[in-house]
Each structure stands twice: as C-alpha cells, then as structure tokens.
Amino acid sequence: MSSDKLVPKQIIEVTVTGLGSTGEGVGKVNGFTIFAHGGLPGEIVKVKLDSVKKNYAMGRVIEILKSSADRCEPVCPVYEECGGCQLQHLRYEAQLKIKTQQVKDALTRIGHLKNVEILPTLRAIEPTFYRNKMQVPVATNEGQLEIGCFAASTHRVVNVDNCFIQKDKNNKIIGVVRDWMKKYRIPAYNEDKGTGIIRHVMGRVGVHTGDVMVVLVTATYDIPHAKELTKMLRENIPGLKSFIQNINKRHTNVIMGLKDRVIFGKSTIRDTLGSLKFNISAQSFFQVNSEQAEKLYNKAVEFASITGKETVFDIYCGTGTISLFLAKHAKAVYGIEIVPPAITDARRNAEDNHCNNATFILGDAAKKLPELLEQGIKPDVVLLDPPRAGCEERVLSSIVHVKPKRIVYVSCNPSTLARDLAYLSSHGYNVPIVQPVDMFPQTAHVECVALLEKK
C-alpha cells in the first residue's frame, strides 16, 4: 500500500509490532508504516488516520480487535486527552522491557553498534507521584479556566486536578492557584492575543527536606492580589519556603523569562541526593525524579571506575550534581557549563558541601577543553550529560583530541546517544555497556548511562 491509497479520516486495520519514540504503536500495512496512537505491540487495532505523509501515516486507535496481555486501565481520568503521559495503558513491567528494547533498537539502527551489553532498565520503586518539579500552562477555554497539561501535539490545555506523576504538594499548588484566580478574577494569558497575566505555574518540592517553591510565570510586572495568593499558599502548602514571580513578556512558547522576583521567602529551596546538599533556584536544573537520580549518578560513578587518582571533566555540568558525586571519589573534577546561573549554583553547592576538589568553569566546552590542556590539565575520565539534542560535533571532536581513558555518557534521548556513540566509536572508543534507567515512569522517555573505553 502506498500513501496514494490512504487518506485522512480513513479507517484501516493494523497489526502493531512495536512502539515509537513517543509511545505510539507502530505497524505496517502492505509495507507502509502506520503510527497508531494508543496501540500496543501484539495488538490488532482499527486506526482512524489523522494525516498521511509520503513515507508514513499517523492515526488514533478507535477499536481494539485483539488486545495485548500487557494492556491495563489508566489510573488518570484525563489520560486519553492529556499529553503528559504516554504509557499508562501499559503494565509497568512491560514499560521497562519496552524501554530496554528502545535503547537496543537505537544503538543498532542509528548507531550501527555491535556487541554492546544493554542491561535491563533500572525500575523505579514508585512509578507514580514521583516528579519533584511541575510546570503547567494556564489558559481560558470558552470562559473556563484550565490549568494542567497540553493535549498531545497541541496547545490546548487539559484541566488537571490531580496529576498521577506529580508529587502531592505540586498538585496542591495547582488547586490553590486555581481558587485564587477564580476568586479574584485573575485573567490567564492568551498567547494568540498577547493579553492576560498568568502564563504558567511551576512547583518544586525538596523530596528529602520537604521544602516547597512556587513560581508564577506572568506576562506582566504587576500581579493583582499577590498578597492574597501568598496568604493562601502559606496556609495550604506545608513546607512553603519560596514564592517567586518570573516575568516573561515575550511572545514565545519558551516557558520562563529572564527576570525573577522573590515575593515570599528565599530565592532557593534545598534538597539532598545521597549525602550531598543542593540549593535549587527557580531556573536551575535538578533531576525531576530524586529517587532514580541517585541510582543514575551512582551508576555513572561505577562506570567511571575512579580510584582517587583521576582527573575528571564534567561537560554540560549544570548545577554540579554529578560533578559533586564524582568529586567524592576523584583527585579533581572540572565542571564546564555555558549557562551562567547554573555555574553560580554549582559553585555554591560545592561550597555548601565542603568540596574543595571541584572547579566550575563558565563557557563553551569546545573552547574551554583546549584551554585546560594548555594549562597542563588533562582528564583521565570525561563525563557527558548533554540536553536532548545530544553533543555538538565540535565538542565530541575536542574530547577525542583530549584522549581520555574513559568517557561516561549520560543521555535522556537514545537516538542522539546512539548518534554520538557512533561518532566516538569511529574515533577510537569501544562501547562495552549501557545501563537504561527509568527516570520517567508512565512516559515514553528513558535515561541511559553509557561507558566508552579507549581502544
């Protein structure tokens, strides 16, 4: 079957053979690829097509003719509408197996890597109510206030009262802000017209300290009835330590603006990972699943095989979380990051943890690596933890030039991980082992730690 014979709104029968990168079922009809939202491997489904492209078509399951034994009933009442989770209809044990296979497929098909041991995905002890950070859009739809998540592939906000992957205190923040907006008639921001006030609500919870931060992202400098909201939050959110206004006047889909203003309490909250303490600001990066982050970082330390004599470069170090884990075992750690507030947080975190062998450098890694070499500082181990887009080739080229004995690559995207591992593999490194970690249960995302060794 070719795309010429398929049209939108057509209903076809599909046998699902796998899952795509965003959790949709994948199958073929006469060799033509069909992405079936809501389908699971092993199922035979009827799919109503939404769009037809040259090489594939996309649609939504409207009837299940043969159901998978791994299918389960989603716990969230708005799961079908909401785009926040993609796998609640799949048993958790099956989610773990799917994620392991997703990593294997990426390394084979994209990276063309052979003889790599892919370990079973490390499971989460608690696969629900795990996120310590929430950021939800605010909108008005036909006169109704909506605070929740975007529907999949749209900018339509689905109202959420109790998100099943958020910490309970984050859910309570949504309720308080909703009550305040209704009581005082505070308008939501309208991104089409550029009118209104409230754009997003963010919550951050210190899992081990109980500290809570609330961030209100606004399109204006003034917040009407801000004192009343502060009072409502203090009365209803246990552990509230920080209430921040973030001002974003730009016509953009970027959530946070550049300016923060403290309305109540401090500019940061505190949390711990293992024995380390961290200050978390409104805009700083901190892993959203604290429990799984410890497993991830401990695995990174294990792969680094540090004995206490090594110098480690942590590239894309963020606020220094992995750097400080590594510093406990290494001779010296140099963290490199291009985001100024992250470096400020990293230096403060090092000071608070009495860590004297970690140095944090602001700048572009591709430029800073040669500068460190010129100073006579050469790494035995390089750790990489880039954003979803992976590493820029010039950064990888700089690392290859440095020739560390080992590279530990932490990734939140198997596709870009496979691409970058292929580059490093072709430039003198073996990839013996990869450990997937389920940082984001109920979603299609999977984190990985990969070890590379100099050939």
Range of 55's domain?
3-66
Instruction: Provide the pLDDT for residue 15.
Output: 97
Query: Are 52 and 118 members of one domain?
Result: no
Query: Are 106 and 170 members of one domain?
Result: no
Domain end (from 242, 273, 304): 273
Report yes or no on 148 lying in a domain.
yes
Instruction: Provide the pLDDT for residue 4.
Output: 63
Report yes or no on 278 lying in a domain.
no
Query: Are 106 and 241 members of one domain?
Result: no
Query: Are 158 and 266 members of one domain?
Result: yes
Instruction: Provide the pLDDT for residue 153.
Output: 74
β-bridge mates for residue 61, sequence order = 47
Query: Are 202 and 218 members of one domain?
Result: yes
Angle, alpha carbons 119-120-123 (nearest 5°): 130
Query: Are 366 and 323 members of one domain?
Result: yes
In this structure, what CATH number is given to the domain that contains residue 318?
3.40.50.150
Q: pLDDT tens, 142-186?
A: 889 999 999 877 888 999 999 999 999 999 999 999 999 999 999
Domain end (from 46, 66, 86): 66
Residues of the chain with pLDDT under 70: 1-4
Q: How many domains does one find in the chain?
A: 3
Query: Are 354 and 384 members of one domain?
Result: yes
Query: Are 173 and 228 members of one domain?
Result: yes
Report yes or no on 78 lying in a domain.
no
Query: Are 307 and 348 members of one domain?
Result: yes
Catalytic residue among 149, 163, 317, 412: 412
Q: What is the rounded CA–CA span in Å between residue 308 and residue 326?
A: 10
Domain end (from 220, 239, 273): 273
Query: Are 121 and 233 members of one domain?
Result: no
Query: Are 432 and 370 members of one domain?
Result: yes
Whether 412 is a known active-site residue: answer yes
In this structure, what CATH number is given to the domain that contains residue 53?
2.40.50.140
Report yes or no on 176 lying in a domain.
yes
Report yes or no on 442 lying in a domain.
yes
Query: Are 200 and 164 members of one domain?
Result: yes
Instruction: Provide the pLDDT for residue 347.
Output: 94
Instruction: Provide the pLDDT for residue 107.
Output: 97
Report yes or no on 71 lying in a domain.
no
In this structure, what CATH number is given to the domain that contains residue 180?
2.40.50.1070
Q: What is the rounded CA–CA span in Å between residue 315 and residue 338?
A: 10
